[in-house]
Chain A
Amino acid sequence: MDNTVIEIQDAVVSYREDVALQGVSLEVKKGEFIGIIGPNGAGKTTLLTVINGLGKLVHGQVRVLGSRLDGKRGGSLRKRIGYVAQVENIDPRLPINVRETVMVGCYGRLGLFHRPTRTHWETVDKVLEMVGIAHLSQRPIGHLSGGEYQRAAIARALVQQPEIFLLDEPTASIDQKAQHEILSLIQLVHREYRMTTLFVTHDLRTLPPICQRLILMKDGRIWQQGSPESTLREEVLSQLYGAPISIPTEIASSFHSSQ
């Protein structure tokens, strides 16, 4: 039985003169945890937006969860895809609290004219408990720290009950302690729910050791891909980033011990 959940063929995405993706092809199997690394401007975020239908293809095709992505199906497929972006600047006066923000994750699946029930709110409270911010549920969303905000974003994606989980630099712009906690949470979530997960980062130190496959991107192309053992090598990464890269021992050993 074919358990491919994402199938991208020769995808090209262009923003005016800039070609963000140049003929990318990729297959992802159900339950895989994939790390996507590469320098800034490599096309990592664009690859994620192609998967959730927000990136506009100028060539190629994408099939997600058995359906070909096009303008009409994008909305209904996005209900089944959780997306966590990097910490954004939020107006501290925004009139919405953490619990309501997390509930937004349910709204796509709920559909128009349906209101959240007590069960939905109970699910939200349970997920807030799981991500460790139940005590902040009534706090205005704009008052959270970067780490707390990312926990809320992960909670929002989880209440969506997604089949695919896309994480776009979720640990960028937050301190090291919060980075560590978010990475632990992401790995816990993967072990618990076994969702197909794609994790984008430009920072090797924030690559979760749970990654089963690494995709190395450069100049809008998949430059190399393979197991962490075969790709996390100093000569490979130095070529990828165009600068000498040394892999800290703890990162190399964390990948070996997690396999």
Chain B
Amino acid sequence: MDLSVLQYHFMQNAILAGLFGGITCSVVGVFVVTMHLSFIGVCIAHAAFAGALLGLWLGFSPLIGALLFSLGSTAIIGPVADRGELNPDTSIGIVFSLMLGLAFLFMGLMPGARTEALSLFWGSILTVTQQDLIFLAAVTGVIVGLVVAFYKEIQAVICHRGVALAVGIPATIVFYGLLFSTGVTITASLQTIGGLLIYSLILNPAAAAYQLTYSLKKMLLIAVAFGVVSCWAGLAASYLLDIPSGAAIVITSAIIFGLATVFSPKRKVKGWRQVPPAG
């Protein structure tokens, strides 16, 4: 295999983008999967996409547009899902379709060629800029730092939210923090993976890890490994087979999920055996 391609700057950037994107998407994916909030995540992803298109149309940074829309949609969806004022599926579905409608509207109103806008659909890890990479690295650092600093609060909220609130943990703040982290992660990865594909990279590695362990720490580590492997293997497949990189990454992550499900020890719940207590 010819490895000379690795000496090119664009490929080095792509590998780093895959590393950071794989880490951060998988970490927030663990929150979303464990809390059963997959549909909320899909909705936030589409909001970010619509925001980025608005930025492109009006001539400001797509990153800022994506950030504003993803955080804005989180601020709307979170309380709606939380308070049960409306059926969450219905209300999230309405916000989701609205965001998709806005995305197509902004795209339709855009004058001239829409190459950049279309690239936001499926992303382009091979053309990631230094600025995108720095933003993605910073977001990864912040998300990982927050998880390390607030691990016990996050564990309590994603596994036992009602209990967390009852024992005096600021569970609502932690919950919204996790949703906002999802929005920021999606924004940072939009350019690399693409608005239509980003959510698979959030969901698939975490869902695959969920099949394999009963430990949250291990689930985070496995999800991160799967996320990074998906990005790098997808990148390699993209280069070798001359196929779109975003699609290759997402398909790789879906294959990993399929394998994890087939070989999941959790499918054999009756076969579970007690492990002697630690210490």
Q: Determine whether B169 belongs to the interface, using a CB cutoff of 8 Å to chain A.
A: yes
Given the interface pairs A75-B170, A107-B156, A139-B274, the reply to whether A92 lies near B163 with Cβ below 8 Å is no
Q: In the complex, are the beta carbons of B170 and A107 less than 8 A apart?
A: no
Task: Looking at the assembled complex, report how far the CB atom of A219 sits from the nearest CB atom of chain B, in whole angstroms.
Answer: 23
Q: How far is the CA of A191 from the CA of B180 in the complex (A)?
A: 46
- Counting contact residues on chain B (CB < 8 A from A), the size range is 35 or more
Collect the chain B residues with CB atoms within 8 Å of residue A213's CB.
Answer: none
Contact of B159 among A75, A83, A96, A115 (CB under 8 A): A96
- Residue of A75, A76, A79 with highest tally of chain B CB at under 10 A: A75
Collect the chain A residues with CB atoms within 8 Å of residue B149's CB.
Answer: 113
- Residue of B164, B166, B169, B276 with highest tally of chain A CB at under 10 A: B166
Q: Determine whether B176 belongs to the interface, using a CB cutoff of 8 Å to chain A.
A: no
Partner-binding segment picked from A130-138, A179-187, A237-245, A246-254: A130-138
Contact of B167 among A78, A85, A94, A112 (CB under 8 A): A78
Q: In the complex, are the beta carbons of B219 and A104 less than 8 A apart?
A: no
Q: In the complex, are the beta carbons of B160 and A95 less than 8 A apart?
A: no
Q: Determine whether A23 belongs to the interface, using a CB cutoff of 8 Å to chain B.
A: no
Q: In the complex, are the beta carbons of A83 and B166 less than 8 A apart?
A: yes
Given the interface pairs A54-B165, A79-B167, A95-B34, the reply to whether A107 lies near B152 with Cβ below 8 Å is yes
Q: Determine whether A212 belongs to the interface, using a CB cutoff of 8 Å to chain B.
A: no
Q: Determine whether A100 belongs to the interface, using a CB cutoff of 8 Å to chain B.
A: yes
Q: Quick one: CB contact mask for A156-177 with B, threshold 8 Å, 1 for yes?
A: 1000100000000000000000
Task: Looking at the assembled complex, report how far the CB atom of A52 sits from the nearest CB atom of chain B, in whole angstroms.
Answer: 6
Q: Quick one: CB contact mask for A133-161 with B, threshold 8 Å, 1 for yes?
A: 01111111101000000000000100010
Collect the chain A residues with CB atoms within 8 Å of residue B169's CB.
Answer: 75, 107-108
Can you name the residue of chain A whose Cβ is closest to the Cβ of B278? A138
Q: In the complex, are the beta carbons of A95 and B213 less than 8 A apart?
A: yes
Collect the chain B residues with CB atoms within 8 Å of residue A77's CB.
Answer: 168
The 9 listed contacts between A and B (C-beta, < 8 Å) are A78-B165, A83-B166, A92-B266, A94-B159, A101-B160, A105-B167, A112-B153, A137-B277, A143-B272
The 7 closest A-B pairs by CB, nearest first: A108-B168, A79-B168, A108-B167, A78-B168, A83-B166, A140-B214, A96-B159
